Chains A and B, each alone.
Chain A
Amino acid sequence: MRESIEKLGAVTLFFGRVLAALPQAALSRPGLVVAQIYNAGTVSLILIMICGFFVGMVLGLQGYDSLSRFSAEDSLGTLSALSLFKELGPVVTALLFAGRAGTSMTSEIGLMRATDQLSAMEMMAVDPVKRVVVPRFLGGVIAMPLLVAIFNAIGITGTYAIGVSVMGVDSGVFWSQLLSTVDLSDVAEGIFKSVVFGVAASLLAVFEGYTCTPTAEGVGAATTRTVVETAVSILVLDYLITAALI
């Protein structure tokens, strides 16, 4: 318990340091941030697309099965869109992001720590938080909502493929129901969540890398912690945000 509180304190302090360094680091070297958006985004892209499609198809099958019990198959599009926008899109994307991009951020920074590259930067009067941590953090935060958008779009396509092409829901009804029921506020909730999850997942990934024990074992342990801690925090944050918004 004491350990968790100390950890929370350390992460918060580190967050403060990252935020303080952020404006200057981002404005003086925007190229570094763009490179990291590309890194965090592209490594996760194929994974996000495949998983999004399968999640969408499962929603198609399960949704159709449930909805047809009270003859509401026409709402399949609505069900899928609401599930994806409000919950599955941000949550599943963030979990996948932690496993793919988060771990690579942690091990990359951790390895730089273990091989003295971070100390070498400090000795060259270059702040590693500005040069290494901020671009990766910001890259992750910006990439996350974009990945969520792609996940959602492909997920709805997956539901459409199953619901309309296999189960025989009418295509026009599918879309019109979806468009008339889903509000802008539902989309906004999803975007808000994806930004919060992006901050949490990226922050934990860079924190674990930056503070890891500088050995091969330490980098490995830090990478594992990134996945576990991100998963738990995403689910807890998800509950808190949902409870606050409903």
Chain B
Amino acid sequence: MPDATTDYIVEIEGLGFSRGDRPVLDDLSLGIRRGEVTAIMGPSGTGKTTLLRLITGQLEPERGDIRVDGRHVNRLSRRELYEMRQDIGMLFQQGALLTDYDVFENVAFPLREHTNLPERLIRQVVLTKLHAVGLRGAARMMPSELSGGMARRVALARAIVMDPKLLIYDEPFAGLDPISLGVVLRLIRNMNDALNITSIVVSHDVLQTAAVADRSFILADGKVVASGSPEQLRTHDSGFVQQFMHGHADGPVPFHYPAPDYAEHLLSRRES
């Protein structure tokens, strides 16, 4: 029986999940070590975001077992699930800030919902977290006035405001300019080490992820096809991993979607 003191904060065994008839995850197993930055990589549509939603209990698996900090996620009641989530911070793809509230109130939101802290203390906590992401000066801006990179930093401040044990990033690099990207990369590393937490980064940006992750898992067709440090993956002997890590256009994943013979197709009169 695993308990909360094991090396792994997230343990997944034999996980299966499908959407309609299409299997998304199939017999997937992996473990995420405490204190590390773990990347989950893979081509688009391989179920990376689905995996995150399963880990956080937003979706229910069809088969298999997911344990987060020793708790079996799919056996928790709604209340227990919400208790578990208070230990998890999550950063959504576009930040998912509450558009009705300004930056300060967004970061204060979890505190106001879950604690009875006096206003003075809330202010201090919020300003500390905003300072950590470099946006103390933007406290009174509305989400619509923020750039993509700033929005993600505010979302990060909000994700750490309850001092979580586990921080999850869903595509944190998508659509950022190089400077914002550098900031986010630095923040992921610093947050992980300074706050002594565990981070999961889901991304398909190989270069950025390799720069920040201690360990990576590569998913394809709903399974883990490779895992290891960025160095190990770069020299991995699987053709698919080579193609993915180096971004070759053609390889085990073919450039051409399956089609009839080219010459015949051009000469035929009808679209078959």
Contact A124 B85, beta carbon cutoff 8 Å:
yes
**B57's closest neighbor in chain A, by CB?**
A122
Q: Which residues of B contact A124 (CB under 8 A)?
A: 85, 109-110, 113, 158, 162
Contact A123 B85, beta carbon cutoff 8 Å:
yes
Q: Which of A72-80, A111-119, A224-232 participates in binding chain B?
A: A111-119
Give the one of B78, B94, B98, B158 with max A CB within 10 A.
B98
B120 close to chain A: CB less than 8 A: no
Q: Which residues of A contact B98 (CB under 8 A)?
A: 112, 117, 120-121
Contacting residues of chain B (153-185) with chain A, CB-CB under 8 angstroms:
155, 158, 162
**B93's closest neighbor in chain A, by CB?**
A116
Q: Which residues of A contact B88 (CB under 8 A)?
A: 123
Number of contact residues on A: which range applies? Answer: 10 to 19
Given B58, B113, B155, which contacts A119 in the complex, CB threshold below 8 Å?
Answer: B58
B153 to chain A, nearest CB (A): 15
Contact B58 A127, beta carbon cutoff 8 Å:
no
Contact A126 B110, beta carbon cutoff 8 Å:
yes
B91 to chain A, nearest CB (A): 9
B56 close to chain A: CB less than 8 A: yes
Contact B96 A125, beta carbon cutoff 8 Å:
no
Q: Which residues of B contact A122 (CB under 8 A)?
A: 58, 85
Give complex CA distance A153, B10 in Å. Answer: 63
Give complex CA distance A126, B82 in Å. Answer: 7
Contact B92 A120, beta carbon cutoff 8 Å:
yes
Contact B92 A116, beta carbon cutoff 8 Å:
yes
B86 close to chain A: CB less than 8 A: yes
Give complex CA distance A126, B83 in Å. Answer: 10
C-beta contact mask, B84-107 vs A, less than 8 Å → 1, else 0? 011010101110111100000000
Known A122-B58, A123-B56, A131-B113; judge A117-B82 contact (CB<8 A): no
Give complex CA distance A117, B78 in Å. Answer: 19
C-beta contact mask, A19-46 vs B, less than 8 Å → 1, else 0? 0000000000000000000000000000
Give complex CA distance A186, B90 in Å. Answer: 55
C-beta contact mask, A113-150 vs B, less than 8 Å → 1, else 0? 00111011111111100010000000000000000000
Give complex CA distance A111, B110 in Å. Answer: 21
Give complex CA distance A121, B96 in Å. Answer: 9
C-beta contact mask, A178-216 vs B, less than 8 Å → 1, else 0? 000000000000000000000000000000000000000
B270 close to chain A: CB less than 8 A: no
Contact B96 A120, beta carbon cutoff 8 Å:
yes
B22 close to chain A: CB less than 8 A: no
Contacting residues of chain B (9-64) with chain A, CB-CB under 8 angstroms:
56, 58
Known A122-B58, A126-B113; judge A115-B99 contact (CB<8 A): yes
Give complex CA distance A116, B113 in Å. Answer: 18
B114 close to chain A: CB less than 8 A: yes
Q: Which residues of B contact A111 (CB under 8 A)?
A: 99
A232 to chain B, nearest CB (A): 31
Contact A115 B82, beta carbon cutoff 8 Å:
no
Contact A125 B86, beta carbon cutoff 8 Å:
yes
Give complex CA distance A85, B58 in Å. Answer: 47
Give complex CA distance A127, B77 in Å. Answer: 13
A24 to chain B, nearest CB (A): 12
Given B83, B93, B97, which contacts A125 in the complex, CB threshold below 8 Å?
Answer: B83
B260 to chain A, nearest CB (A): 33
B186 to chain A, nearest CB (A): 23
B269 to chain A, nearest CB (A): 36
A209 to chain B, nearest CB (A): 14
Give complex CA distance A137, B70 in Å. Answer: 38
Residues of A that sit less than 8 Å from B by CB: 111-112, 115-117, 119-127, 131
Known: A120-B155, A122-B85. 9 other contacts (CB 8 A): A115-B99, A116-B92, A116-B94, A120-B92, A123-B56, A123-B85, A125-B114, A126-B110, A127-B78
Query: Could you jot down 8 A-B contacts, CB within 8 Å?
Result: A116-B94, A117-B96, A119-B58, A123-B85, A124-B110, A124-B158, A125-B82, A125-B114
Q: Which 10 A-B pairs have the closest CB atoms?
A: A116-B96, A120-B96, A125-B82, A125-B85, A123-B90, A116-B92, A124-B110, A125-B86, A126-B113, A117-B96
